[in-house]
């Protein structure tokens, strides 16, 4: 009986042996032939497997690191317009953009005719200490010629920025001197101010221009508010036009200064991110101050959080044009080589429940990027009637009706100013002749212009110099035919553009803001609203 049992298991043993033999044969055959398709069929990470196969079997040598660098943006581009890859060599620049400072030589520059022109030397910075001056042209960096096509904005930043305490040797050409001048600059911390102006427009109204929401923006705002408070301001204009955003946390802190306790500022929610609400704590020092917020088509992200919170809580009025429409929250993840990704992890919503993110289609990034131009072409910048209200209707805290579907709609629309606009002015502006002439005029007349330290005194001097006529002759030599009738019609536009650029080059951001705001229709509208006590929204009539 025992023998029968043994005999009965022989076929099973043989079958198992055959299966094992087949598996072993297949393994060794595939192993030595390099065939790894079976791995792909069973692996959960096809991308890694693909790279291994390319590295192991591709006919030519492949730089896998370079292949990955090129693939990363494409992969993230399939998700949404704001999930991006930042290579290692650009990561520091991306971080510095929102940091409170960076290490450099302390100059502002432009690139003209393939040469670095120093526009401004930051007071107290490394370059001022060694004697560099506005108007100097940098010819060499660390003994190597640095002119020509190699001079790009990216390359200039790469060569001039560096670790604190490190040295860079500069050779410059200074107007009026025949010999080159050599300077050794020790790099130091350079402050990056995100609030460009905080001053009194009149005896009662304060004005604050915020360029971005960075690490130091909130404390900068507190300093600016304290300055305006000393001047006894009764109302405030916060200008977020052109502000493309930054840190959400900074916007939340800043809105908190103007809201009473327990008001919802913003909330975020995503597939892997549970709803998170951010509310005011009631400690803000300016809860009863009349407030107007200025926005335009370039106001995005954190700017929309700020303006949306003010609008939805009926805390102030929003003036200008529809904002950009970015309602996606990014998380920054850094890799071992210091490259990084900014990955969208949630959407943010204003207190009423609006997601201000404008519509986008995956794979249609060009359409998304051209949205501003599309708005312009359909007349949205010039007529409130051309704006298409879309999406669900929402209500503010007192029942005012507002809409989602792409950006923050202002309470008061102000069109782009096109009075006296001519094709001659458009060509002069678009081809860069206005700003080019402003730089050349400044270089030629820097000694005379340096006598004036306010925009009023500088503009008064410029008004006596026949600047527009000189510009027309300059542009004519550059190929833009002089058109006297159009020149006369657009005289105010030319004066404002030329004077403004020269003020910007010669003076600081605040003086430039003062000059620009004198005739800015959006600012004038805000001042009028505050004057007439219309900065507090009113509930709709039943």
Question: Nearest 5°: phi and psi at 74?
Answer: -65, -40
Give the alpha-carbon dihedral of 61, 64, 67, 72, to 10 degrees: 170
Residue 312 catalytic? yes
Burial string for 152-171 (b: 16+ CB within 10 Å, else e) reads eeeebbebbbeeeeeebebb
Q: DSSP character for 213?
A: B
Q: E-strand spans in 192-240?
A: 195-200, 205-210, 235-239
- Tokens 């030329």: give the residue: 498
The token pair that represents 441 in the structure block: 């005029």
| H helix count then E strand count, the chain | 21, 21
Residue 182 catalytic? no
Give dist(CA 479, CA 211) in Å, integer.
35
Give dist(CA 22, CA 28) in Å, integer.
10
Q: Which residues pair with 344 in a beta bridge?
A: 330
Give dist(CA 246, CA 156) in Å, integer.
24
DSSP assignment of 71-123, as one string? Answer: HHHHHHHTT-TT-EEE-HHHHHHHHHTTSSEEEE--EEEEEETTEEEEEEE-T
Give dist(CA 117, CA 112) in Å, integer.
7
Residue 411 catalytic? no
Q: Indicate the burial class of 118 (C-beta count within 10 angstroms; 0-12, 13-18, 19 or more).
A: buried
Give me the catalytic one of 301, 303, 307, 490.
301
Check if the beta carbon of residue 292 is closer than 8 Å to that of residue 235.
yes
Give me the catalytic one of 312, 371, 411, 520.
312
Q: Can you say how many angstroms the Cα of residue 39 is from the centroid of all Cα atoms in its chain?
A: 44
Residue among 330, 381, 317 at smallest CA distance from 532: 317
Q: Which residues pair with 107 in a beta bridge?
A: 121
Give dist(CA 334, CA 340) in Å, integer.
4
Using the Cα atoms of residue 124, residue 126, residue 129 and residue 134 in order, give the sign of their dihedral.
negative
Check if the beta carbon of residue 141 is closer than 8 Å to that of residue 170.
yes
Question: Nearest 5°: phi and psi at 280?
Answer: -75, 150
Check if the beta carbon of residue 530 is closer than 8 Å to that of residue 235.
yes
The token pair that represents 43 in the structure block: 């692996």
Check if the beta carbon of residue 320 is closer than 8 Å to that of residue 295.
yes
Residue among 210, 118, 303, 216 at smallest CA distance from 513: 210
Give me the catalytic one of 161, 212, 326, 358.
326
- Residues designated as active site: 301, 312, 326
């Amino acid at each position: 009986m025992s023998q029968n049992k043994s005999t009965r298991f022989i076929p099973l043993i043989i079958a198992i042996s055959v299966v094992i033999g087949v598996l072993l044969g297949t393994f060794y055959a595939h192993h030595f032939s390099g065939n790894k398709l079976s791995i792909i069929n069973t692996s959960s990470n096809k991308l890694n497997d693909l790279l291994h196969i390319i590295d192991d079997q591709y006919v030519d040598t492949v730089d896998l690191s370079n292949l990955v660098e090129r693939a990363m943006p494409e992969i993230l581009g399939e998700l949404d317009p704001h999930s991006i890859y930042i290579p290692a060599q650009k990561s520091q620049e991306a971080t510095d953009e929102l940091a409170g400072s960076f290490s450099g030589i302390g100059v502002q520059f432009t690139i003209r005719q393939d040469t670095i022109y120093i526009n401004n030397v930051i007071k107290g910075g490394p370059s001022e200490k060694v004697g560099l001056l506005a108007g100097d042209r940098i010819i060499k960096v660390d003994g190597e010629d640095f002119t020509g096509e190699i001079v790009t904005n990216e390359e200039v930043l790469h060569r001039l920025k560096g670790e604190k305490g490190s040295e860079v040797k500069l050779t410059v050409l200074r107007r009026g001197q025949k010999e080159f001048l050599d300077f050794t600059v020790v790099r130091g911390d350079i402050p990056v101010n995100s609030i460009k102006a905080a001053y009194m427009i009149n005896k009662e109204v304060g004005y604050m221009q915020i360029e971005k929401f960075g690490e130091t923006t909130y404390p900068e705002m507190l300093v600016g508010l304290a300055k305006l408070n000393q001047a006894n301001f009764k109302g405030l204009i916060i200008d977020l036009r052109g502000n493309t955003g930054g840190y959400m946390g900074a916007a939340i802190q800043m809105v908190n200064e103007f809201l009473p306790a327990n008001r919802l500022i913003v909330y975020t929610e995503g597939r892997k991110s549970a709803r998170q609400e951010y509310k005011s704590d009631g400690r803000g020092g300016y809860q009863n101050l009349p407030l107007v917020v200025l926005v335009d088509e370039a106001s995005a992200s954190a700017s929309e959080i700020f303006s949306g919170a003010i609008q939805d809580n009926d805390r102030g009025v929003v003036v200008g044009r529809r904002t950009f429409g970015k309602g996606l929250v990014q998380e920054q993840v850094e890799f071992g080589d210091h490259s990084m990704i900014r990955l969208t992890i949630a959407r943010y919503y204003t207190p009423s429940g609006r997601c201000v993110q404008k519509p986008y289609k995956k794979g249609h990034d060009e359409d998304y990027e051209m949205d501003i131009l599309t708005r312009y072409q359909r007349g949205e910048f010039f007529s409130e009637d051309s704006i298409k209200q879309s999406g669900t209707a929402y209500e503010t805290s007192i029942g005012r009706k507002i809409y989602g579907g792409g950006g923050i709609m202002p309470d008061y629309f102000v069109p782009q100013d096109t009075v006296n606009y001519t094709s001659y002015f458009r060509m002069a502006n678009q081809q860069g002749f206005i700003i080019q002439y402003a730089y050349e005029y400044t270089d030629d007349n820097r000694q005379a212009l340096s006598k004036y330290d306010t925009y009023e005194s500088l503009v008064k001097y410029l008004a006596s110099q026949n600047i527009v006529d000189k510009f027309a002759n300059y542009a004519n030599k550059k190929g833009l035919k002089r058109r006297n009738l159009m020149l006369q019609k657009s005289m105010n536009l030319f004066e404002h553009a030329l004077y403004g650029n020269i003020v910007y080059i010669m003076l600081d951001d605040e003086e430039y803001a003062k000059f620009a705001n004198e005739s800015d229709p959006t600012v004038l509208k805000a001042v009028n609203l505050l004057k007439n006590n219309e900065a507090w929204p009113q509930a709709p009539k039943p």
